[in-house]
Amino acid sequence: MRLNVNPTRMELSRLKKRLKVAVRGHKLLKDKQDELMKKFIDLIKKNNELRLKVEEELTKSLKDFMMARAVMGTEALEEAIAMPAETIKLDVTKKNIMSVNVPIMNFVREGSENASIYPYGFFATTGELDAAIKKLYDIMPHLLELAEVEKSCQLMADEIEKTRRRVNALEYVMIPQLKETIKYITMKLDENERGTLTRLMKIKSMMQK
Amino acid sequence: MIFMYKIGVVGEKDAVIAFLSLGMTVKGVENAKEAQMAIDGMAREGYGLIFVTETIAKEIDETIERYKNSFLPAVILIPGVQGSLGIGLQKIKDNVEKAVGVDILSKKEG
């Protein structure tokens, strides 16, 4: 497929410029893609490991919680934890990995400085609940890390897909098209020149007769 | 002071009540529609991170996909009371396939 243009010198030099830009763009995008891929593979491996770990721990912790509920009774448990001693907030900053903005998340605990993690008095609750909450509390940093890594992976996967499309479009469509058109114009111009030359020679020989 | 995002948890009541003790916002939902509304509501109200249990998440795939490519909020799946259903892991694999073209993670295992 060649572009639909007039075979003129103007057009030729314009196309040559475009080809140069396309080749340069292709190289840059390809580099970007490679680098993104490298980072992505590191990250996704971490993501996989982290998720396996967190899922396992979390399941355990939730089971403990069920246990605590079974011992204490649903209402008593809900009453005990209905008013948490602190709230967790999230501080999000951006990090730029190869033009992909990924979030960096940090926990911020809001509450009195040295409050215990248990939001209740120990009178009406059982040891099971304490243990379950402690466990959940310990998982939190992992859970957050998982969230951060997983979100980054999602965003990067999207960006990689986009970049790959662009690279392929340039490599298999734009650049071949431009090259073919340039070739076509060069041929056409050469042909015209030869045409002119033979015409001149013909005329000259006619005039000499 | 920088703006602080909140953390939310959406899922069946049994599974998510535990997170209340950590000081997160917990929304117990029973069906897909409630969950969808809860997530959309949280996204609007400035939640930066929303945990959704897998049991609920499998019903509202569409809603979760919608937030996948936005910077915030991050919607993260967590196992429900019955343990992991493997949806979260499947999503990671989907990501790999989307980016790389082949599943490189399971090849390592098998």
Give how far B12 is from chain A: nearest CA, Å: 12
Give contacts of B100 with chain A, Cβ < 8 Å.
Answer: 37, 40-41, 160
List the alpha helices (DSSP H) in chain B. Answer: 13-20, 32-44, 54-57, 61-66, 87-100, 104-109
State the CB neighbour count (10 A cutoff) for residue A35.
Answer: 13
> What average pLDDT score do residues B52-65 get?
81
- Model pTM? 0.80
Of B71, B92, B98, the CB nearest to A101: B71
In the predicted model, is pLDDT for residue A138 greater than 90?
no
Is the residue at A138 inside a domain?
yes
> In whole numbers, what is the pLDDT of chain B averaged over residues?
78
pLDDT at A184: 94
> Is residue A149 within 8 Å of residue A50, measured between CB atoms?
yes
Is the residue at A4 inside a domain?
no
Is the residue at A204 inside a domain?
no
Q: Who wins on pLDDT, A205 or A61?
A: A205
Name the band, by pLDDT with cuts 50, 70 and 90, for residue B109: very low
Domain that includes residue A161, residue range? 9-33+55-197
Give contacts of B23 with chain A, Cβ < 8 Å.
Answer: 84-88, 109-111
For B15, the closest chain A residue by CA position comes to A62
Give contacts of A139 with chain B, Cβ < 8 Å.
Answer: none
Strand partners, B78: B53
DSSP helix, strand, coil percent of chain B (3-state; round to 5): 45, 25, 30
Dump pLDDT digits (tens) for A49-90: 888 888 888 888 888 878 877 877 777 777 777 677 677 777
Of A86, A111, A151, the CB nearest to B74: A151
Dump pLDDT digits (tens) for A188-198: 999 999 999 99
pLDDT at A129: 76
Is the residue at A43 inside a domain?
no
pLDDT at A119: 65
B interface with A, Cβ–Cβ < 8 A, is 2, 4-7, 14-15, 17-24, 48-49, 51, 68-69, 71-72, 74, 76, 78-81, 83-84, 88-89, 92, 95-96, 98-100, 104-105
What is the number of CB-based contacts under 8 A between chain A and chain B? 139
Is the residue at A38 inside a domain?
no
Helices A9-72 and B87-100: crossing angle in degrees, nearest 10, is: 170
Give contacts of B21 with chain A, Cβ < 8 Å.
Answer: 81, 84, 117-119, 133, 136
Least confident of A25-39, A52-66, A113-127: A113-127
pLDDT at B110: 41
Give contacts of B68 with chain A, Cβ < 8 Å.
Answer: 154, 158
In the predicted model, is pLDDT for residue B107 greater than 70?
no
List the alpha helices (DSSP H) in A73-174. Answer: 74-81, 127-169
Q: Sign of torsion, CA A185 A190 A196 A202?
A: negative
- Kindly report the CATH number assigned to the domain that includes residue A192: 1.10.287.3240
Give how far B96 is from chain A: nearest CA, Å: 7
In the predicted model, is pLDDT for residue B1 greater than 60?
no
Give contacts of A81 with chain B, Cβ < 8 Å.
Answer: 17-18, 20-21
Is the residue at A48 inside a domain?
no
A111 contacts B76? CB cut-off 8 A: no
Of A52, A110, A155, the CB nearest to B69: A155
Q: Considering its fold, how many domains does chain A have in total?
A: 1
Is the residue at A170 inside a domain?
yes
pLDDT at B47: 83
Q: Which residues contact A34 (CB under 8 A, 6 or more apart)?
A: none
For B77, the closest chain A residue by CA position comes to A147
Tell me whether 0.95 is exceeded by the ipTM: no
